[in-house]
């Protein structure tokens, strides 16, 4: 029997990092920046959180839970912000190619994460055998106190750490801002046609910087959630895997709508772990085929949206293109 | 708007023509700066002095004949993927699917070796491996191309997704063919009979790969610069409207170019499986599909210049690898160093293509 009550929380837990990543990437792409550095940014967010928590746990004499949460979160935000600034400086100010810059950012970010994840203990000369941030992780994982008492409702809706709810709130806010506010309208204009937006008096550079940096910070929280909540505060190299790319896939799947991302991310999370729940007997190989599902579904959405060619379902028109006022 | 006459202090304009000397001068400066910065970072982490940092890097790349051969092999494989991506990029078709196309080519090669090994003469087997690998790579690239040509489907994202489909497909077949059962890997294919292994030239294991890629570099160079098809590719890349106007069938050019691009990626997979590793893993491509994007771009899509740009990146990664081994650091150290070099070179392009004019605030403006 398919155990839905145990399946849903695991699907959600898988989906949350993707939701952070895709919300961030959607905001970024709406400004016309195709940031392929998101996987790297998520790694940097995660490792900065780990470094912050590690230093705090090692040095604090008595562990204050509030600081235990705030320090890693701040570290993750700063780390991913710096990555965002680097990307913007190269692509917006120096007008470099976005694909190349993004890929370089991913190489750097993944390397940065794995390097400090693997060498943190050696570099700080501490005696612990591995990075296991149990007390920090416990703070991040604290669920609402009444979750246990509500039976399956509690398990399905209230059993998550606070970052999961932050992810959903951020997606809702992003969706609202993009659709209903003047800022959102301007941002979309920048992504669709920067020349027109420029003529209308919108500061292209500022919008691109803001959107990309906020997007990176959001994505960085996804990395933080993964390591602190999902992975119980244990860092292992490459464990984050291809989730960053899956987040980019999710942006396409939701056709650039963060609110849709809330459910879509959980669907993706479900697809990601579906193979654990489908009885395949002794045949382990089939599980690898199931892991293809999220990508195939994304490809199908990409194809269908281009075939139907509805205006509101297209990528931002100037996605991936640099803007230089004098070029026209 | 309180400052009505506000003009920015720096004015930027596009350079018309950039002399070759200036172009490479700026790049060399960027590379030197990258070297300096990476040495500083290394100093902070390891406590080496800068001379030692460079010495260790040089040792890592050229220290022993074996290391030099590895360097050559790594350059050849990276260059091969970059060559594959070049025609597509020239056409402004962002083929980010090199990773998947290499994998699927390698998979086809491994499949031929496993299924047909010892059953048919070796020469025929190698022929079949070559054909299937190239066809598989081409197929993997042409799927996004067809959709791009017919419906304008975003190729960057499509090719990117195809990578993971290929990865999972390889993961599937690894379990199907795993030896021994339950190990989760294939192991060396046809270890005893060496069926389907590429011949070795003399005592040099990697020489054949290097020669093949060298020939290919020349072929791609001529194809891009001297052939009609190469010309069509650059016209389509400049402007699809112009291309249509002069009677080029854009859809056909897109599909044909991506067949070529995927075919060369498939060839890389063949070289990796049939000639170098004699096995397949999901990470056999090792991110080269992405690194190659940067190699090709750094070289301005010029195949000859790509020899240098792939040398530069491989040198950095081998050198940084040596530092991490020598100091017990994590191997990912190389990725950080590579990132630093890339950021500098990417940034330097701006100073090649644009000119900065400092405005003097003499009150003349805004009058």
Write out residues 178-237 of A within 8 Å (CB-CB) of B: 237
Shortest CA gap B200–chain A (Å): 33
Q: What is the pLDDT of residue A130?
A: 67
B2 pLDDT tier (thresholds 50, 70, 90) = very low
pLDDT given at position B162: 93
CA distance B264 to A295: 24
**Nearest CA distance, B13 vs chain A (angstrom):** 7
- As a whole number of angstroms, the distance between CA B104 and CA B51 comes to 43
CA pair distance B343, A96, nearest whole angstrom? 10
**How far away is chain B from the Cα of A200, in angstroms, using its nearest Cα?**
14
Using CB atoms, pick whichever of B14, B157, B297 lies closest to residue A100: B297
CB of B339 within 8 Å of any CB in chain A?
A: yes
ipTM of the complex: 0.86
Set of chain A residues whose Cβ sits within 8 Å of the Cβ of B313: none
What's residue B364's pLDDT?
44
User: Inter-chain contact A299–B165, Cβ cutoff 8 Å?
Assistant: yes
High-pLDDT (> 70) share of chain B, %: 95
Q: pLDDT category, B219, cuts 50, 70, 90?
A: very high
Closest by alpha carbon to B265, among B232, B235, B298, B290? B290
Q: Determine the Cα–Cα distance for residues B98 and A163; give it in Å rounded to an integer.
A: 36
pLDDT at A53 over 80: yes
A-chain residues within 8 Å CB-CB of B314?
Answer: none
Of B156, B158, B339, the CB nearest to A107: B339
Mutate which of A111, A249, A301, A303 to test chain B, going by most B C-beta atoms within 10 A?
A: A111
Q: Is the predicted pLDDT of residue B367 greater than 50, yes or no?
A: no
- Residue B161 to residue A303, Cβ atoms within 8 A: no
Rg of chain B over Cα atoms, rounded to whole angstroms, equals 23
Pick among A119, A296, A301 to test the B interface (most B CBs inside 10 A): A119
> For position B15, what pLDDT does the model report?
77
Provide the chain A residues 91-150 that lie in CB contact (below 8 A) with chain B.
Answer: 94-97, 99-101, 103-115, 117-119, 122-123
What pLDDT, on a 0 to 100 scale, did the predictor assign at position B363?
Answer: 47
Of the partner residues B161, B290, B343, the one whose CB lies closest to the CB of residue A90:
B343
What domains appear along chain B, each with residue ranges and CATH number? 19-356 (1.10.3470)
* Consecutive H or E run containing B358: strand B354-358
Q: What is the mean pLDDT of chain A?
A: 86
Interface check B154 vs A, CB under 8 A: yes
B339 vs A324: CB contact, 8 Å cut-off?
no
Of the listed ranges B35-44, B85-94, B246-255, the one predicted with least confidence? B35-44
Tell me the residues of chain A between 262 and 291 that have a Cβ less than 8 Å away from chain B.
284-286, 288-289, 291
Chain B residues 315-334 within an 8 A CB cutoff of chain A: 328-330, 332-334
Q: How far is A328 from chain B (nearest CA, A)?
A: 12
**A150 has pLDDT over 80:** no
Residue-wise pLDDT for B46-77, tens only, equals: 777 778 878 888 888 888 888 888 899 999 99
- What average pLDDT does range B99-107 have in this prediction? 95
Residue of B nearest to A317 (CA): B154
Query: What's the rounded mean pLDDT across residues A283-296?
Result: 81
| Chain B residue with minimum CA distance to A305 | B153
Residue A309 sits at the chain B interface (C-beta within 8 Å): yes
* Environment class of B207 (CB within 10 Å of its CB; exposed 0-12, middle 13-18, buried 19+): middle
Percent of chain A with pLDDT over 70: 92
- B336: closest CA of chain A, how far (Å): 5
Looking at chain B from residue 221 to 280, which residues have their Cβ under 8 Å from any Cβ of chain A?
none
Yes or no: say if A84 and A208 are a contact pair by the CB < 8 Å rule. Answer: no
Q: How far is A157 from chain B (nearest CA, A)?
A: 31
Predicted confidence (pLDDT) per residue in B131-148, tens digit: 999 999 999 999 999 999
Q: Per residue in A172-228, pLDDT tens?
A: 999 999 999 999 999 999 999 999 999 999 999 999 999 999 999 999 999 999 998
pLDDT higher than 80, residue B20: no
- Token pair of A155 as six digits: 């398990």
CA separation (Å) from A174 to A83, A171, A194, A260? 20, 5, 21, 11
Q: What integer pLDDT is reported at residue B192 of this predicted model?
A: 81
Mutate: best of A96, A105, A271, A326, partner B, most B CBs <10 A: A96
Question: CB pairs below 8 Å between A and B: how many?
Answer: 164
d(CA B106, CA A10): 35
| Residue range A119-138: mean pLDDT, rounded | 71
Specify the pLDDT at position B3.
45
Q: Is residue B229 scored above 80 in pLDDT?
A: yes
Q: Which residues of A touch B157 (CB under 8 A)?
A: 248-249, 252, 298, 302
The chain B residue lying nearest A44, using CA atoms, is: B336
Q: Could you please report the per-residue DSSP string of B291-351?
A: HHHHHHHHTTT-HHHHHHHHHHHHHHHHHHHHHHHHTT--TTHHHHHHHHHHHHHHHHHHH
Number of H helices, E strands in chain B: 13, 2
Residue B42, chain A, CB below 8 Å: the answer is no
- Mean pLDDT (chain B) is 86
Q: Which of A89, A288, A307 minimises the CB distance to B151?
A: A307
Query: Which comes out higher in pLDDT, residue A114 or B3?
Result: A114
* Residue of chain A minimizing CA distance to B344: A90
CA distances from B240 to A79, B141, B145, B236, B237 (A): 41, 20, 15, 5, 7
User: Could A107 and B338 be called an inter-chain contact, meaning their C-beta atoms sit closer than 8 Å?
Assistant: yes
- Note whether B294 contacts A237, CB cutoff 8 Å: no
Of B300 and A311, the one with more pLDDT: B300
**What is the predicted pLDDT for the residue at B1?**
41
Q: Is B153 on the interface with A (CB under 8 A)?
A: yes
Q: What is the pLDDT of residue A178?
A: 92
Structure confidence at residue B358 (pLDDT): 74
The end-to-end CA distance of chain B, in Å, is 17
pLDDT at B110: 93
Given a cut of 60, whether residue B361 has pLDDT beyond it is no
| CA neighbor of A9 nearest in space, from A135, A138, A137, A148 | A148
Task: Find chain A residues with C-beta within 8 A of B162's C-beta.
Answer: 295, 299
Q: What is the pLDDT of residue A318?
A: 83
Helix (H), strand (E) at residue B10: strand B10-14
- Taken in order of first residue, the domains within chain A and their CATH numbers are 4-146+156-316 (1.10.3470)
Question: Cβ separation of B338 and A245 shorter than 8 Å?
Answer: no
Query: Which residues lie below 8 Å from residue A158, measured CB to CB, with a gap of 6+?
Result: A143, A144, A146, A147, A150
CA B182, B186, B192 angle in degrees (round to 5)? 120
pLDDT at B99 over 60: yes
Cis peptide bond N-terminal to B352, omega within 30 = no
Q: Residue B335 and residue A115: Cβ atoms within 8 Å?
A: yes
Average pLDDT over residues B328-357: 84
Chain B residues touching A36 at Cβ < 8 A: 96, 160
């Amino acid at each position: 029997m398919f155990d839905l009550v145990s399946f849903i929380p695991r699907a959600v837990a898988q989906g949350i990092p993707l939701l952070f990543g895709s919300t961030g990437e959607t905001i970024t792409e709406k400004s016309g920046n195709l940031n392929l550095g998101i996987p790297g940014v998520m790694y940097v967010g995660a490792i900065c959180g780990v470094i912050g928590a590690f230093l705090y746990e090692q040095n604090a004499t008595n562990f204050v839970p509030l600081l235990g949460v705030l320090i890693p979160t701040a570290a993750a935000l700063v780390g991913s912000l710096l990555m965002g600034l680097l990307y913007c400086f190269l692509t917006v100010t120096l007008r470099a190619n976005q694909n190349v810059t993004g890929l370089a950012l991913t190489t750097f970010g993944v390397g940065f994460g794995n390097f400090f994840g693997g060498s943190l203990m050696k570099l700080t000369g501490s005696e612990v055998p591995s990075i296991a941030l149990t007390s920090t992780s416990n703070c991040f994982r604290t669920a609402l106190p009444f979750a246990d008492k509500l039976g399956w409702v509690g398990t399905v809706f209230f059993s998550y750490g606070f970052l999961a709810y932050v992810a959903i709130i951020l997606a809702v806010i992003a969706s609202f801002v993009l659709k209903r506010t003047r800022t959102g309208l301007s941002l979309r204009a920048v992504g669709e046609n920067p020349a027109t937006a420029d003529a209308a008096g919108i500061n292209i550079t500022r919008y691109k910087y803001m959107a990309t940096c906020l997007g990176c910070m959001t994505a960085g929280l996804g990395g933080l959630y993964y390591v602190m909540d999902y992975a119980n505060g244990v860092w292992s190299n490459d464990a984050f895997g291809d989730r960053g790319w899956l987040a980019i896939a999710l942006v396409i799947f939701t056709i650039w709508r963060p609110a849709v991302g809330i459910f879509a991310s959980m669907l993706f999370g479900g697809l990601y772990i579906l193979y654990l729940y489908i009885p395949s007997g002794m045949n382990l190989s089939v599980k690898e085929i199931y892991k293809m599902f999220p990508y195939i579904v994304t490809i199908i959405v990409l194809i269908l949206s281009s075939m139907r060619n509805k205006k509101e379902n297209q990528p931002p028109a100037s996605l991936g293109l640099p803007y230089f006022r004098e070029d026209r | 708007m309180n400052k009505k006459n506000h003009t920015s202090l720096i004015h930027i304009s596009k350079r018309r023509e950039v002399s070759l000397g200036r172009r490479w001068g700026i790049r060399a400066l960027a590379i030197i700066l990258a070297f300096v910065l990476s040495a500083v970072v290394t100093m902070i982490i390891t406590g080496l002095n800068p001379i030692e940092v460079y010495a260790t890097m040089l040792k890592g790349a050229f220290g022993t004949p074996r290391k030099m051969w590895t360097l050559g092999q790594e350059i050849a494989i990276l260059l091969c993927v970059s060559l594959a991506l070049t025609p597509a990029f020239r056409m402004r078709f962002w083929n980010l699917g090199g990773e998947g196309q290499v994998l699927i080519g390698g998979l086809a090669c491994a499949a031929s070796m496993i299924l047909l090994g010892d059953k048919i003469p070796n020469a025929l087997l190698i022929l079949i491996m070559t054909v299937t690998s190239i066809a598989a790579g081409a197929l993997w690239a042409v799927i996004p191309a067809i959709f791009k040509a017919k419906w304008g489907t975003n190729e960057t994202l499509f090719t990117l997704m195809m990578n993971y489909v290929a990865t999972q497909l390889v993961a599937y077949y690894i379990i199907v063919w795993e030896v021994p059962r339950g190990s989760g890997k294939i192991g060396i294919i046809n270890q005893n009979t060496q069926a389907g292994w590429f011949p070795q030239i003399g005592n040099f294991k990697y020489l054949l790969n290097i020669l093949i890629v060298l020939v290919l570099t020349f072929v791609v160079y001529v194809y891009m610069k001297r052939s009609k098809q190469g010309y069509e590719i650059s016209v389509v890349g400049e402007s699809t409207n112009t291309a249509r106007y002069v009677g080029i069938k854009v859809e056909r050019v897109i599909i044909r170019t991506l067949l070529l691009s995927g075919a060369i990626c498939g060839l890389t997979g063949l070289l990796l499986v049939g000639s170098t590793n004699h096995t397949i893993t999901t990470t056999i491509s090792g991110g080269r599909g992405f690194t190659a994007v940067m190699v090709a771009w750094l070289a301005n899509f010029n195949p000859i210049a790509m020899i240098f740009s792939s040398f530069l990146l491989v040198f950095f990664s081998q050198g940084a690898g040596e530092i991490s081994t020598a100091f017990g650091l994590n191997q990912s150290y190389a990725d950080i160093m590579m990132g630093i070099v890339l950021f500098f070179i990417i940034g330097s392009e701006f100073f090649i293509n644009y000119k900065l004019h400092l405005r003097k605030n003499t009150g003349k403006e805004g009058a």
